[in-house]
Chains A and B, each alone.
Chain A
Amino acid sequence: MAIENVVETDVLVIGGSIAGCFAAIKAREQGLDVTIVDKAYAGKSGAGFAAGMGYMVFNPEWGLDLDACMKAINIKGEYINNREWTEIVFRDSWARYQDLLSWGAEFPVEEDTLLVKDFLPFGVVRIKRRKITPLLRSQTVKSGIKIIDRVMVNDLLKQDGKVVGAIGFPMDSEELYIFKAKATVLSAGYNSFKPAGAEICSLTGDGEAMAYRVGAEITCKEFPDVGNYGMNPYPAWRGGRGSRACFRYYTDAYGQEVKTHHQYESDLTLEFAMHAGRGPILWDIDSATPEEVDRMRKRMQHSDALESERIGFDPGHGGKFLQAGGGAAGAPNAQTAGVWPVNTKCATSIPGLYVAGECCGTRYLGAYHPAPGFGLTGSSVTGSRAGLGAAEYAQQAEEPVIGDKELSVLKRITYAPMEHKGGFSPRWVTQVLQNTMIPYFVLHIKHEKRLQAVLTVIEFLRDHLVPKLIARDNHELRLAHETKNMVLNAEMILRCSLLRTESRGQHYREDYPRRDDPAWLAWVKLRDEQGQMKLEKVPIPREWWPDLSQPYEERYPKRFPGE
């Protein structure tokens, strides 16, 4: 057995994304001892910076109006946004923006204004990944936070019903890490199935999976991300370099335009076009006017686009690019799916466990993603709140005690793939999972029969392949735990999708193509009950219902095929 490295801390933060850094800094400001652990590198982690070209800020002095913003989210989120959290994020966003400024952040100015006017009524400012990530890192270091990079946490430690730390292993050496913490903030990002398009292959739902295994509640897994980010031969977001500038100029195999609802919104339009046999879908810059190409170029200069001339992509060169299906497959609608927070301090139903960022299911955007920038802001807000919440809890918590029995069980689980001589390689199981889950007719255009069929396959993966994953070194051990977590997330996605017998926002059921009010003015919440995934429906408060006397077509401006 490996050498044990015991780390004791007041507040443990798992995942050094923008949420994790905010959580750690805020907890540290309360005078506590804080440790961040990240399976890659704290400060640079997370989905936010892979995607990020914007940061949403609400500031009345910029002429923004809270009622207009709230109303827009209610309608776009198709009324299942948690309005308490929607308002919190808008109201807190200014303070988080000020934090970033005080740490030295700069926000590039676009055409003489700070705000990106395309996204009104929301206030969205530009960010650059390469400018902000080093600041987050240096601010955490300056604050005196202990950082442990390149250590993957694979499970939480639970004792007497409370979370008292975590267990993990490093990439570069053999020792085992045992974290003893008075309070733990989980900010390990969202799930993906390591897709072709987006740069999110490190995000494998570890947070939700770990939380689920200690009995926490998970919500809203049925709403997928629908961004068609992938392009071939430019297969990824490539550092946020410009892909958001291209939600337009889609053409189908017949040369017909495929019109999305809004230039920046990624609805299911492309999936429906594919389903109708109009594929492959191309991103066709040749069809843009010179003025439009110029606008794209300008926009990309504000991101990390064109930063390196050789690898930067210049729309001025034109071209037609094949869309990779399921570019962000496995990812949820940002800020919607995640561990259910039980209060506005981001506590969970398990004492000692707090959640932040993309694995915190605030549902503040509801069923739909309105514009770029909302993920980073939501994550800063929940990060900050979870950090303060965890600090408050840690201040009155007793020294964590971990029983030998519990620890030895988790150690065995941690290293199990190393012990298996024969079995299944995590890379192969991941590919099987990808080929099972990523087809558009599973993840995006859903039907009871297909969901059931795929669930049968995923249950087989869970019961037969996952327990026999093999790893030859710590890199593969990481792959094995990631694979296990992705399979668990797949099961959550399928079960939530089956239960929601309606269509809403980014969740589309071919067999139930309409919204079902008021029956589904509700959230799905799930948890582990003696080894079974138990789902329940939680109605949204009645005062958040839309006006049901308003005709359906006005209540819901978007039509689904088949309704």
Chain B
Amino acid sequence: MTIERIDPELCNGCGICVNSCPVDVIRMDKESQKAVIKYPEECMCCDYCELDCPQDAIYVSPERYVPHMVAW
């Protein structure tokens, strides 16, 4: 399912992924100062967050939150 997890153990709170996501899926949690998945419905599985995360803390699976009809 889409962006699946952000590992709080690995996340250093740098915030890069929040800026990398073009569709505002990820936010910083004010209390823990870690990145959290806030709006997974919008995730387009582009992997930018995963590629840009310096800690390898993010895992994105290729399936959409709302599965699209494929192949018409």
Contact = CB atoms under 8 A, between A and B. Distances in A.
Interface string A474-486: 0100110000000
A274 B72 CA distance: 8
A44 B18 CA distance: 12
B19 interface: yes
Contacts of A408: none
Given A44-B48, A279-B72, A427 B41 contact: yes
Nearest to B25: A475
Question: DSSP majority for the A interface?
Answer: loop
B48 A202 contact: no
Interface in B39-72: 39, 41-42, 44-48, 50-52, 60, 62-64, 66, 68-72
A130 B51 contact: yes
B60 A44 contact: no
Interface in A119-174: 130, 149-150, 171-172
Interface residues of B, number: 29
A199 B52 CA distance: 16
Contact of B70 (A236, A238, A325, A427): A325
B24 to A, nearest CB: 5
Given A196-B68, A431-B66, A238 B22 contact: no
Q: Is the interface of B mostly helix, strand, loop or mixed?
A: loop
Given A201-B44, A236-B46, A40 B21 contact: yes
Contacts of B24: 40, 150, 171, 475, 478
Interface in A34-64: 40-41, 44-45, 50
Nearest to A41: B19
Given A232-B70, A235-B63, A45 B22 contact: yes
The interface centre, meaning the residue of B20, B22, B42 with most chain A CB atoms within 10 A of its CB, is B22
A50 B21 CA distance: 12
B71 to A, nearest CB: 4
A323 B72 CA distance: 9
Contact of A304 (B51, B62, B63, B72): B51
The residue in B21, B45, B52, B63 that gathers the most chain A C-beta atoms within 10 A of its C-beta is B45
A232 B63 CA distance: 8
Interface in A205-235: 230, 232-235
Given A239-B51, A307-B51, A50 B72 contact: no
Contacts of B41: 427
Nearest to A281: B71
Interface in A312-354: 322-326
A140 to B, nearest CB: 14
Contacts of B27: 172
Interface in B12-37: 19-24, 27
B38 interface: yes
Contact of B48 (A172, A239, A280, A427): A239
Contacts of B39: 475
Contacts of A50: 46
Nearest to A253: B71
A194 interface: yes
Interface string A443-487: 000000000000000000000000000000001001100000000
A311 interface: yes
A440 interface: yes
B71 A324 contact: yes
B20 to A, nearest CB: 7
Interface of A: 40-41, 44-45, 50, 130, 149-150, 171-172, 194-196, 199, 201-202, 230, 232-239, 274, 279-281, 304, 307-308, 311, 322-326, 427, 431, 439-440, 475, 478-479
Interchain residue pairs A-B with the least CB separation, the first 3: A196-B68, A280-B71, A325-B72
14 contacts: A40-B21, A45-B22, A130-B51, A150-B19, A196-B64, A202-B23, A239-B46, A279-B71, A279-B72, A308-B47, A325-B69, A325-B70, A325-B71, A478-B24
Given A199-B22, A233-B62, A440-B72, 11 more contacts: A40-B19, A44-B48, A150-B24, A196-B69, A230-B70, A304-B51, A307-B51, A324-B71, A326-B72, A431-B66, A478-B24
